[in-house]
Amino acid sequence: MTEQWYFVDTETGTPAFNMALDEVLLRKQSREALPPILRFYDWKPAGLSLGYFQKTKGKINVENVKSRGFGIVRRPTGGLAVLHDQELTYSVVIPESHPKMPKSVMAAYRVISQGLLEGYRFLGIEAGLAIPENGVEITGTAVCFEEPSWYELVIDGKKAAGSAQTRQHGVILQHGSIPIRMDTDALYDLFIYPNEKVKEKAKRAFKNKAVAIEEILKRPVTLEEVKEAFKKGFEKGLEIELVEWQLDEALLQEAAELAKEKYENDAYTYSR
């Protein structure tokens, strides 16, 4: 019998609410030992999410983030900054003890990435998993999509999806960005560089480091088309059946309160 996972599409949320809901789902999973949860969502306004340990001073141009009308939020997961705009975002919330989940973070990435891999295939895109020959190169960049990590999705050597993971209270939370299209000018306006020349050089180099769905397919793609492909992709790649799940009002209220108390709080956002 095929294993059943919960599936919920919460559609559009603010940056703070999106991160709060992922954390609340992690807590609920820890309390109640639910089936694994796959969540899809998107962002309004578009938001720059910072890795939990990422420094902002001297790295993030907060003034430019705000002047463009973007939100800014610190994720509960590690990694580098991601601009969430014109994309599908996913999260997986699953007990560490689940038989499909290896003990190591990288091995768990590999398992979950099978769902992403099949999602791209349903769109007609042949993607692969990044396996750096000499390990992951640390360049000092603040930009997530400049550096593929172990078992992240790549297309023709370019990073196609960025994911991050945390393990708390016996639960794995992995969430990530699946770009449909990218605005490189907007992205590189959000970071601090020594001068304009260095910034332009980094922006030009980015074209060889990252890629979005529409760039590969050479045609417009709707969010609904991407959702359908990746929903089927997770089912095939993880050999599961996704069952629609409704979030109750108490859980949504808990997320709204956490968003206000933590993820909208500058003391948390700019704590590093």
The confidence score (pLDDT) of residue 106 equals 87
Phi, psi for 161 (deg, rounded to 5): -150, 140
Sorting pLDDT into bands at 50, 70 and 90, what band is 43? very high
Number of domains present in the structure of the chain: 1
The confidence score (pLDDT) of residue 130 equals 80
258, part of any domain: no
Look over the chain and give the mean of its residue pLDDT values, rounded to a whole number: 92
Distances (CA, A) of 60 to 57, 193, 237: 7, 9, 36
Give the pLDDT confidence of 162-213 residue by residue, as tens digits: 899 999 999 999 999 999 999 999 999 999 999 999 999 989 988 888 999 9
User: Which of 240, 184, 173, 229 shows the shortest CA–CA distance to 24?
Assistant: 173
2, part of any domain: no
117, part of any domain: yes
Question: Among the options 48, 93, 144, 187, which is catalytic?
Answer: 144
> Mean pLDDT over residues 104-118, rounded?
93
Instruction: Quickly count: other Cβ atoms within 10 Å of residue 91's Cβ.
Output: 23
User: Which of 59, 41, 216 shows the shortest CA–CA distance to 146?
Assistant: 59
> Mean pLDDT over residues 44-59, rounded?
95
259, part of any domain: no
User: Which of 158, 153, 138, 142 shows the shortest CA–CA distance to 202?
Assistant: 142
This prediction has a pTM of: 0.93
The confidence score (pLDDT) of residue 250 equals 96
- Domain of 159, in residue numbers: 12-249
265, part of any domain: no
Give the pLDDT confidence of 234-247 residue by residue, as tens digits: 999 999 999 999 99
Sort 185 into a burial class: Cβ within 10 Å, 0-12 / 13-18 / 19+. Answer: exposed
245, part of any domain: yes
CATH number reported for the structural domain that contains residue 137 in this entry: 3.30.930.10
- Asked whether residue 141 carries a pLDDT value surpassing 60, the answer given is no
The answer to whether the beta carbons of residues 13 and 82 sit under 8 Å apart is: no
24, part of any domain: yes
| Residue 232 designated active-site | no
The confidence score (pLDDT) of residue 148 equals 56
Establish whether the linkage from the previous residue to 45 is cis, with ω within 30° of 0: yes
User: Which of 138, 163, 143 shows the shortest CA–CA distance to 151?
Assistant: 163
What is the total residue count of the chain?
272
42, part of any domain: yes
Sorting pLDDT into bands at 50, 70 and 90, what band is 131? confident
